[in-house]
């Protein structure tokens, strides 16, 4: 695949003409102020676009988590008692600030994570704003309940905040996943301490700069540093009332164990190996629907495959396999690689050297297992400032569902393709995985779509679509993909606790004593 | 039981450094999103192995476990614990040393000069 050499439409942060102002060094955001890490140490933050450092961020210690928890606890009573009118207004103002700074945040996010600017402009940033608006609306419409137990006894049910929560954000959508987690926490009346992922510590600080005068001090706190020290200190703290995590399974299990030790709730989203099922009738006509289905397969390359719900297993009915794959590979071959700040670019670098090496190693594992490389399968090399970035070619492997490349999340632009005979076979293969986060079904037969949608054991089954993440559609895992749901008002259940005030209006004693 | 796990020299050195700082450590092979597929190095008392963890062997006195279903689905592979520069984002202890452990296959390690399995 050729390097795209069109002019760059957006300048990188800190450069002349860039919408993003860049400081050489950033601090933790604690109590509404910028607070240096107590140990005085900083890490260089690399851009995956170039592989070079562009700013410093705190290398915090558990002491800094304590400072953030102090600030959050100092703010919790006032925030928890804020009227819903005011609370929703704050969430809406955050959304307005995101929207006003749409381009700035999109460029920052692209430089931080490597995702193409066309994705950050069209998806990450507008969705982040919308999730705040959604929870602003949802919390206004919430109400408790009154149950008449008998004519003199009434149970009043109130939704009360949990207090202070800990939230650990993944590197694949640094701003959007932060919005997914922060918005319902704040809507529920909680204060939060956020630990960004180590490869992506900075773009959320650009968001914090925008909202420092909007959100009362201590309601949102951001502490950067190594997961093994500060993430662990946060997740295991006695001073949080709930922990939310997106990441891999062992850390997820550890977080659930800490939550068990402290007897607090946890929600975890731990990834998947999502099947994307194409029935033969998608090729019944060469029309708009077929074009949409082809794009549906290529969506595995969205965000360079660094998506928990990446449709990384394509199951194609054997009767159309050759004809379908001819067209699909043509589409994959047309993916434009290049500078992610170029609006034409469709795939940018993996987030880190470590992720790039993992992708490479899985493609090798696939080859060793006998999978056939249909396209890609190598690092992509770019000249100039991109030379040190972490680029990989969009890759398609053909093999069998028993292979490791069909069973483990690669988290890169690597699609594993196999065939199925009939609907029962498709369902069996789709469910033959330890994960159950997402799935896709493509067919013109809506009865079959309905059966498959109910039959697939996953928290989200996209039907004749994929990779839509609207607020008000729940998201979360079956099986090993985690516990809990996000992006829906049911999430307020995860971020509030129920108070029952049971009142007797009867003046008479029970008569027991 | 024949051990299904070994470690490279650099990985054994990193394990030794972590043991000097934290005491006994153990590995749990991770899966799923983000840093999934990496072996997570934890203090041995931090997460006791459960009934569904399979002991693959020991590297540098550190036991290495994998979830039994994951082990089956991965085809019961032989693993070589290696180490590479750069911290991962997980709770694995070597992040503080700006390193991350990697699970590799013996074939991949053998193809890579200077990283002979031990």
User: Tens digit of pLDDT for each residue in A204-223?
Assistant: 999 999 999 999 999 999 99
> B102 CB near a chain A CB, below 8 Å?
yes
- Closest-CA residue of B relative to A412 is B34
Instruction: Report the C-alpha dihedral over residues A419, A423, A425, A426, rounded to 10 degrees.
Output: 50
Helix H segments across A142-287?
A: 174-187, 203-211, 232-235, 249-262
Query: Which of A250, A270, A416 to mutate to probe the B interface, most B CBs <10 Å?
Result: A250
Q: What integer pLDDT is reported at residue A3 of this predicted model?
A: 47
Closest chain A C-alpha to B69 CA, distance in angstroms: 7
Q: Which residues on chain B are in Cβ contact (under 8 Å) with A252? A: 32
- Count the neighbouring beta carbons within 10 Å of the beta carbon of residue A292: 14
Q: What integer pLDDT is reported at residue B116 of this predicted model?
A: 47
Which tens digits make up the pLDDT trace of A376-403?
999 999 999 999 999 999 999 999 999 9
**Mean pLDDT, residues A30-58 taken together:** 97
Long-range CB contacts (within 8 A, 24+) of A40-47? A43/A198, A43/A201, A43/A224, A43/A225, A45/A112, A45/A201, A45/A202, A46/A199, A46/A352, A47/A12, A47/A111, A47/A112, A47/A114, A47/A389
- Give dist(CA A145, CA A137) in Å, integer: 19
**Percent of chain A residues topping a pLDDT of 90:** 98
Take residue A143 and report the two structure tokens written for it.
Answer: 């109400």
Which tens digits make up the pLDDT trace of A437-468?
999 999 999 999 999 999 999 999 999 999 99
Query: Which of B18, B29, B32, B68 to mutate to probe the A interface, most A CBs <10 Å?
Result: B32
Confidence band for A4, pLDDT divided at 50, 70 and 90: very low
| pLDDT for residue A7 is more than 80 | no
- Give dist(CA A136, CA A63) in Å, integer: 33
Q: What integer pLDDT is reported at residue B112 of this predicted model?
A: 75
Q: What integer pLDDT is reported at residue B117 of this predicted model?
A: 45
- Give dist(CA A490, CA A135) in Å, integer: 11
- Give dist(CA B55, CA B64) in Å, integer: 6
ipTM, two decimals? 0.91
First to last CA, chain A: 86
The segments of chain B whose pLDDT lies below 50 read: 1, 115-118
pTM assigned to the model: 0.96
Q: Which residues on chain A are in Cβ contact (under 8 Å) with B76? A: none
Q: What integer pLDDT is reported at residue A37 of this predicted model?
A: 98
Smallest Cβ–Cβ distance between A358 and the set B32, B37, B69 belongs to B37
Q: What integer pLDDT is reported at residue A468 of this predicted model?
A: 97
DSSP calls for A202-231: SHHHHHHHHHTTTSPTTSEEE--S-IIIII
Q: What integer pLDDT is reported at residue A273 of this predicted model?
A: 97
- Give dist(CA B56, CA A83) in Å, integer: 55
DSSP one-letter code for A128: H
Instruction: Of A358, A67, A64, A16, give the one whose Cα is nearest residue B35.
Output: A358
DSSP one-letter code for A20: S
Closest chain B C-alpha to A402 CA, distance in angstroms: 7
> B75 CB near a chain A CB, below 8 Å?
yes
Cα–Cα distance list, A363 to A37, A231, A368, B18, B54 (Å):
40, 31, 9, 31, 26
CB contact under 8 A, A171 and B89: yes
- Give dist(CA A262, CA A364) in Å, integer: 42
User: Residue A145 — left, alpha, or beta (φ > 0 → left; ψ -120 to 50 → alpha)?
Assistant: beta
CB contact under 8 A, A270 and B42: no
Closest chain B C-alpha to A155 CA, distance in angstroms: 42
Helices (H) and strands (E) counted in chain A, each on its own, are 16, 22
- Closest-CA residue of B relative to A228 is B91
- Give dist(CA A28, CA A268) in Å, integer: 25
Q: What integer pLDDT is reported at residue B115 of this predicted model?
A: 47
Which tens digits make up the pLDDT trace of A351-360?
999 999 999 9
Assign A103 to helix, strand or coil: helix
Which tens digits make up the pLDDT trace of A132-181?
999 999 999 999 999 999 999 999 999 999 999 999 999 999 999 999 99
Which tens digits make up the pLDDT trace of A82-124?
999 999 999 999 999 999 999 999 999 999 999 999 999 999 9
A269 is annotated as an active-site residue: yes
Confidence band for A480, pLDDT divided at 50, 70 and 90: very high
| pLDDT for residue A53 is more than 50 | yes
Q: Which residues on chain A are in Cβ contact (under 8 Å) with B31? A: 248-250, 271, 408-409, 434, 480
Please name the residue that has the structure tokens 């703010």. A75
**Mean pLDDT, residues A270-297 taken together:** 98
Residues 111-150 of A with CB under 8 A from B: none
- Give dist(CA A491, CA A185) in Å, integer: 9
> B10 CB near a chain A CB, below 8 Å?
no
């Amino acid at each position: 695949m050729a390097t795209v050499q069109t002019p760059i439409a957006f300048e990188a942060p800190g450069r002349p003409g860039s919408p993003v102002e860049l400081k050489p060094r950033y601090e933790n955001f604690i109590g509404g102020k910028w607070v240096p890490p107590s140990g005085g140490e900083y890490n260089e933050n690399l851009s995956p676009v170039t592989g070079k450092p562009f700013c410093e961020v705190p290398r915090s210690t558990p002491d800094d988590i304590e400072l953030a928890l102090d600030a959050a606890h100092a703010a919790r009573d006032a925030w928890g008692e804020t009227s819903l009118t005011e609370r929703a207004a704050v969430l809406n103002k955050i959304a307005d600030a995101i929207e006003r700074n749409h381009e700035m945040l999109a460029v920052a996010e692209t430089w931080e994570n490597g995702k193409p600017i066309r994705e950050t402009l069209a998806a990450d940033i507008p969705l982040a704003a919308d999730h705040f608006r959604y929870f602003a609306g949802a919390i206004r419409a919430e109400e408790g309940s009154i149950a008449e137990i008998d004519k003199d006894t009434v149970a009043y049910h109130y939704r009360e905040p949990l207090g202070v929560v800990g939230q650990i954000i993944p590197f694949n959508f640094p701003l959007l996943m932060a919005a997914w987690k922060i918005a319902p926490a704040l809507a529920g009346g909680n204060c939060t301490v956020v630990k960004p992922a180590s490869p992506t510590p900075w773009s959320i600080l650009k968001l914090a700069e925008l909202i420092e005068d909007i959100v009362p001090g201590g309601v949102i706190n951001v502490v950067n540093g190594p997961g093994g020290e500060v993430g662990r200190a946060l997740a295991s703290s006695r001073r949080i009332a709930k922990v939310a995590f997106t990441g891999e399974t062992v850390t997820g299990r550890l977080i659930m164990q800490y939550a068990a030790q402290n007897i607090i709730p946890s929600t975890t989203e731990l990834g998947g190996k999502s099947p994307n099922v194409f029935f033969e009738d998608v090729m019944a006509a060469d029309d708009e629907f077929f074009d949409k289905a082809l794009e549906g397969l290529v969506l595995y390359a969205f965000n360079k495959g660094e998506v928990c719900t990446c449709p990384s297993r394509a199951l194609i009915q054997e009767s159309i396999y050759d004809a379908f794959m001819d067209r699909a590979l043509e589409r994959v071959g047309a993916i434009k690689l290049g500078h992610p700040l170029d609006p034409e670019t469709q795939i940018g670098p993996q987030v880190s050297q470590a992720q790039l090496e993992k992708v490479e190693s899985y493609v090798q594992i696939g080859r060793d297992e006998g999978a056939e490389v249909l396209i890609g399968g190598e690092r992509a090399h770019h000249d100039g400032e991109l030379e040190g970035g972490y680029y990989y070619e969009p890759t398609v492997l053909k093999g069998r569902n028993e292979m490791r490349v069909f069973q483990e999340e690669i988290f890169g632009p690597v699609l594993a393709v196999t065939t199925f005979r009939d609907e029962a076979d498709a369902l069996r293969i789709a469910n033959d995985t330890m994960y159950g986060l997402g799935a896709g079904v493509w067919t013109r037969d809506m009865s079959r779509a309905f059966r498959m949608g109910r039959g697939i054991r996953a928290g989200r089954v996209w039907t004749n679509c994929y990779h839509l993440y609207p607020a008000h559609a729940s998201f979360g895992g079956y099986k090993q993909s985690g516990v809990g749901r996000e992006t829906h008002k049911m999430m307020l259940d995860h971020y509030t606790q129920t108070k029952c005030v049971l009142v007797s209006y009867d003046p008479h004693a029970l008569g027991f004593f | 039981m024949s051990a299904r796990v070994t470690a490279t020299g650099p990985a054994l050195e990193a394990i030794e450094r972590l043991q000097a700082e934290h005491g006994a450590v153990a590995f749990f092979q991770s899966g799923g999103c983000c840093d999934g597929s990496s072996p997570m190095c934890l203090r041995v008392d931090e997460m006791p192995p459960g009934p569904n963890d399979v002991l693959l062997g020991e590297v540098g006195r550190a036991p290495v476990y994998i979830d039994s279903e994951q082990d089956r689905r991965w085809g019961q592979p032989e693993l070589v614990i290696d180490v590479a520069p750069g911290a991962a984002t997980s709770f694995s202890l070597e992040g503080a040393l700006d390193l991350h452990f990697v699970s590799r296959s013996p074939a991949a390690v053998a193809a890579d000069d200077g990283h002979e399995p031990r």
